[in-house]
Amino acid sequence: MSTLTATATATRPAAQAAALAPAARPLPALAAVYRAQLARAKVARIPLMFVATFQSVGILVMMRGVVAAGDNASARAVVSGSSVLVVAFVALNLLAQYFGRLRATGGLDHYATLPVPAASVVLGAAAAFASFTLPGALVTAAAGALLFKLSLVHLWVLLAVVPLSGAALSGLGAACGLLAPKQEIATMLGQLGMSAALLLGVLPAAHLPGPVQWLRDLLPSTYGVNAFALTFAARPDWPAVGGDLAVCAAVGVISLAVATWAYRRATTR
């Protein structure tokens, strides 16, 4: 009896030592993942900003040849859509490629071994990628407003449009990368998503056929585009702006939740 007691006493500390550490709290874990992702992306920050901004400004110049300048619905749609396209390039396209590469190369196993909530990993990576988009979106919006002779007064609305659109598109991009069976398919999905943001977001909605307009309503970033386009009017309809931003925020919550589920699914299989 005494031998059994001594054995149990000796093995109890070992069992306690083998216990896993408690999981990190969501907010500190989110901050840690965000800082780590931001530090990794610093090297590529200038090329990312340049490519995304150059692409969107080039689309503005091209559309200027077919859309008249002045305070009209088409000009507002082109400028707002091109500005949000900067977000789509980084948050949707590049994030889909990033998570697709992580899954293909086993990089997700590193995060799976850490006591970090799945939501913190997805949100931290999404926030780090989206952080690079605000300067490019502001430059694109200012260039577009000058090119199409629109007001520069309400460009500050991008401070709400970019993070909300970025959240919605980041969740969608992360889900594409995590659910795609192959890295090449994740890259293709990211490219298709950015093409959809280009065609459905930049082109004036009134010029699109009915079925295509329904597809446009399904794209999360179009609500950010609509909200920003309304602010170029002489008297913006602020309740409508707030409504579009609210829809964009709701879609962002849903898409990030789907991305979190996709992350758990990818790391437990």
Q: What is the pLDDT of residues 10-55, one digit of tens each?
A: 444 444 444 444 556 767 777 777 787 777 666 656 677 778 888 8
Taking the chain, what is the end-to-end CA distance rounded to the nearest angstrom?
Answer: 45
Q: How far apart are CA 85 and CA 158, in angstroms?
A: 12
What Å distances lie between residue 223 and 164, 205, 220, CA to CA? 10, 12, 6
- In the numeric block, the tokens 């399904």 are attached to 218
Hey, what's the torsion of the CAs at 49, 53, 54, 60, to 10 degrees?
180
Give pLDDT, residue 252.
Answer: 87
Give pLDDT, residue 44.
Answer: 58
DSSP symbol at 205: G
Closest CA to 172 of 76, 72, 230, 90: 90
Give pLDDT, residue 239.
Answer: 94
The pLDDT averaged over each successive group of 10 residues in the chain (269 residues) is 44 44 66 75 67 87 85 88 88 85 81 76 80 86 92 91 88 89 89 86 81 84 90 89 92 89 83
Residues in Cβ contact with 20 at an 8 Å cutoff, skipping those fewer than 6 apart: 115
DSSP string, 140-203: HHHHHHHHTT---TTGGGHHHHHHHHHHHHHHHHHHHHHH-SSHHHHHHHHHHHHHHHHHHHHS
Strands (E), the chain: none
Q: How far apart are CA 71 and CA 62, in angstroms?
A: 18
Give pLDDT, residue 219.
Answer: 85
Give pLDDT, residue 24.
Answer: 63
Give pLDDT, residue 10.
Answer: 44
Q: Three-state DSSP class for 139? A: helix
What pTM did the predictor assign? Answer: 0.81
